[in-house]
Chains A and B, each alone.
Chain A
């Protein structure tokens, strides 16, 4: 108690911030006003408090005038709280004996009357002077970081982030929900603007991931639970039963031709439904890992319903020729169950990607009605040498007189389907202009058809992109500027018979045109994954109104989230092309490495704690904590806060009905004295 009686000696500094503050606030008058307040030992005004001389001034004054509290009235604490806490500490005081007043963003920048702005600065300063008297010495805690990293999603972002970390010697868990990594990029034929073969550049990376000693690759798996905090996450992963023992499967694929189904007859999702597969399958030739999967929904062995625990009942009717083919390898196990794994990691990189817009949501374009209307991703598979047609572009509907499938003679590509549209998605999906031109080029190469691109604006802002556009112009592809009104099979002229007619206002020519084509390609936009909301909650991230995961700062912290130790890369954060995705994945890996190599995280001491004696155990606080930092001790019937998880949001403090939760730096005495300070100034 006696130490508390130490005489209060507050040092007050008001910053001019050049003209930013001084032009609207009379800084000298503020200093003279504060000087008279009780407990204030000295009050100064200075041109730039954040400059080296400004900080040295604080340190000198602490020593020479025996100051024990520091208040600086300047800009936002976001900018310089750290700076001034540092100066306070360098002067020999606990950094939390410092308090900052924002008289720039909160005052000089938002007012037009110099007299009133000055009075407001005085009031805000008085509030801080009263508050700082109640400040306590606090300690920054250091928490060690677990060096392993979880990467969620095995598309190009996840692959690149995992490889970067693994090559730096970090242990990585890469979790992918599909049977193979590769993501959307594995489905592409070529990449713009260089026309590199997507598989040629991606699959070597995929197999590197599969064999890297530092990467634990879990495909066909879901993250089901995340607990903990930066540096110390405990993650539960569900490894879905693929009915194949991964370690025993050699990838020989002998089981596939020997399946009792002689012909593939089930929808092949990897080929966008354009091809068929068997119940036992491998998604695509270069799949990683090279392990087959059995689909329990269609395999005859699972036709007898389910056990009470949800696992399938194995039938005795199927001849199990696949098991015979597998032979001594014994890799097929129909009794396999989902398995839950628990891992500990320090950092998490979320690369869960996107889904493409459902073209059926724009009925006027006829997707699902007219068979020869395709999505861009279907075309990617159609032009792909390992696709369902072996790279031959043939129409779904219509045959040549000799009965062979028809090749399109004219093709229309409609841009911005599900992008830049108030009715669907407002955003530009960024990649569609470029991939539409790439597809135009490839389709022309494959079919020599007449190609029409219907665009609103041509957006080609990447390296080499405008050049690619010029190349397409020279190739003779037609570009028609205008949003397409509809696609119809209603012919108005003989040459429109049997064709799909694209009705569009050509805004450059100023006429409405009807263009008959054999094939329509819809350049579908990018959307957040259907389960993005669940993923967001799982990893405690935020999202924008559009559903894309939110970065901490759009410019200065683009791969960080608001949860420390959780980073973003790729399209889950917003539409982007492969170069940007890879750059972001590298950045996320680097951010994770910053924490791993430093070895610890510093924790702001503005955390809340429960007054154990006073807690009545009413549990009001527990469901409110956004960081699940509050737990209930069933034995003692009291709540307690895991300090390492607490982010200092104050929700529980406000909600505790008996005020038995206290938050450092925001104690009632501090807040009430601050309020009284503002109100008492007149």
Chain B
């Protein structure tokens, strides 16, 4: 009997998710033993045309990380969907948009202009921008194009499961493989992580007072934090209460607040809005000046509350452009 075929693909991402697969360490041997890898651009050389030549649904599972930012990424997402029985959004970018989706605060023109013209570290006097196609030495290469907005994988194609995290932890990845290969799968659309917020597994939980009554907010670099005390009790925004658990509270164990990469629980439509609502309700001040003073400690609310979830959120671009 032939082994199930598995594909790994990356879109708009940093490569950290790929790293997690490697971080399986010796466990990866167990995975490789049980499957045939048909596509893994980060590690091995494959051609897209070979994937295109496969019969539809012949790939057992594709783990796709990264958001959909470029036209090529969309093409591959559509292709891999067609070829795969299970398409899995792997990591925060594929699931929620991730860091790349913070670009959704700006128009495509703003993004291009800054990166190719205004960026202070740039040497591009001709202001050359990438073109869809150009001719050089008699050949005309076609380049992938930037979309107007960054999208999650499920905003482009149908997704079967989600593995959260920036990056997902090796444990979750391993558990997901085990579930896939043993056929013990949850209902379609499930996020393969516990459906309870991070506080549940955070060691600092007991130190959170009943009434946090925020008087000020501090960013992680603005202090030395008590390694045993709830970050919120210390006035540091910790996304833990609004974020799915399953990471083993990795960040808070390392004395850093949760930034929300596992995304919201299944019951939440908009992680950032939920955290904002919770946090702001607990600000001690009741007058405008006092509230503004407290909130001044959060200079970048979108980057704080929507660090990973902007593409998936209810927030939309000011100009309603096509994808």
Contact = CB atoms under 8 A, between A and B. Distances in A.
Q: A and B, one complex?
A: yes
Interface of A: 611, 613-620, 622-624, 632, 637, 651, 654-660, 668, 672
A620 B241 CA distance: 8
Interface of B: 195-200, 205-206, 208-213, 240-242, 245, 264-265, 267-269, 274-275, 277-278, 281-282
B163 to A, nearest CB: 19
A39 B278 CA distance: 36
A657 B205 contact: no
The 10 A-B pairs at the shortest CB distance, nearest first, are namely A616-B197, A657-B242, A659-B267, A618-B241, A623-B211, A658-B197, A657-B241, A616-B199, A657-B278, A616-B200
Contacts of B213: 623
A651 to B, nearest CB: 7
Nearest to B274: A657
B114 to A, nearest CB: 33
Contacts of B281: 620, 624, 651, 654-655
B294 to A, nearest CB: 15
Given A614-B265, A617-B200, A659-B268, A622 B274 contact: no
A651 B281 CA distance: 9
Q: Of A617, A620, A623, which is in contact with the most chain B CB atoms at under 10 Å from its CB?
A: A620
A188 B20 CA distance: 85
Contacts of B268: 657-659
B92 to A, nearest CB: 17
A620 B245 contact: no
Contact of A618 (B195, B197, B269): B197
Contacts of A613: 196
With most chain B CB atoms within 10 A of its CB, the pick from A611, A618, A651, A668 is A618
A620 B265 contact: no
Contacts of A615: 196
Contacts of A614: 195-196, 265, 267
A658 B242 contact: yes
Contacts of A622: 210-211
A668 B242 contact: no
A659 B282 contact: no
A618 B199 contact: yes
Contact of A658 (B205, B209, B211, B241): B241
A659 B277 CA distance: 11
B223 to A, nearest CB: 22
Nearest to A630: B210
B17 to A, nearest CB: 24
Nearest to B245: A616
Given A657-B274, A658-B264, A624 B197 contact: no
A619 B196 CA distance: 14
Contacts of B209: 619
A658 B267 contact: yes
A660 B277 contact: no
A255 to B, nearest CB: 48
20 contacts: A614-B195, A616-B198, A618-B197, A618-B199, A618-B205, A618-B240, A619-B212, A620-B278, A623-B212, A623-B282, A624-B281, A637-B206, A655-B277, A658-B197, A658-B241, A659-B268, A659-B274, A668-B267, A668-B269, A672-B269
Which DSSP category, helix, strand, loop or mixed, fits chain A's interface? loop
Contact of A619 (B198, B208, B267): B208
A675 to B, nearest CB: 10
A5 B196 CA distance: 29
A629 to B, nearest CB: 14
Contacts of A658: 196-197, 241-242, 264-265, 267-268, 274
B210 A632 contact: yes
Nearest to B268: A659
Contacts of A659: 264-265, 267-268, 274
A438 B200 CA distance: 70
Contact of A654 (B205, B241, B277): B277
Nearest to A652: B281
Contact of B205 (A611, A617, A651): A617
A655 B196 CA distance: 16
A656 B279 CA distance: 10
A658 B240 CA distance: 9
A637 B204 CA distance: 12
Contacts of A651: 281
Contact of B210 (A623, A654, A655): A623
Contacts of B277: 654-655, 657
A662 to B, nearest CB: 8
B274 to A, nearest CB: 5
A617 B211 CA distance: 13
Contacts of A668: 267, 269
B267 A660 contact: yes
A619 to B, nearest CB: 5
B115 to A, nearest CB: 35
A657 B278 CA distance: 6
Contacts of A617: 199-200, 205
A76 B178 CA distance: 56
Interface centre among A613, A620, A656, A657 (most CB of B within 10 A): A657
A176 B211 CA distance: 33
A384 B183 CA distance: 94
B196 A657 contact: no
A655 B281 CA distance: 7
B267 A620 contact: no
A656 B271 CA distance: 11
A632 B282 CA distance: 17
Query: Which of A616, A617, A656 has most chain B Cβ within 10 Å?
Result: A616
Given A616-B240, A624-B282, A656-B274, 12 more contacts: A614-B195, A614-B265, A616-B197, A616-B198, A616-B241, A616-B245, A618-B241, A620-B281, A623-B282, A657-B242, A658-B241, A658-B268
A620 B213 CA distance: 10
B244 to A, nearest CB: 8
Most buried by B among A618, A632, A655, A658: A658
A656 B268 CA distance: 10
Contacts of B282: 620, 623-624, 655
B195 A655 contact: no
B278 A619 contact: no
B117 to A, nearest CB: 39
Given A616-B197, A668-B267, A637 B205 contact: yes
Contacts of A657: 197, 241-242, 268, 274-275, 277-278
A616 to B, nearest CB: 4
A637 B242 CA distance: 17
Given A624-B282, A658-B197, A658-B265, A618 B208 contact: yes
A622 B282 CA distance: 10
Nearest to A661: B267
B249 to A, nearest CB: 11
A608 to B, nearest CB: 14
A667 B157 CA distance: 29
A627 to B, nearest CB: 15
A304 B242 CA distance: 57
A658 B271 CA distance: 8
Contacts of A611: 267
B71 to A, nearest CB: 30
A616 B242 CA distance: 10
Nearest to A662: B267
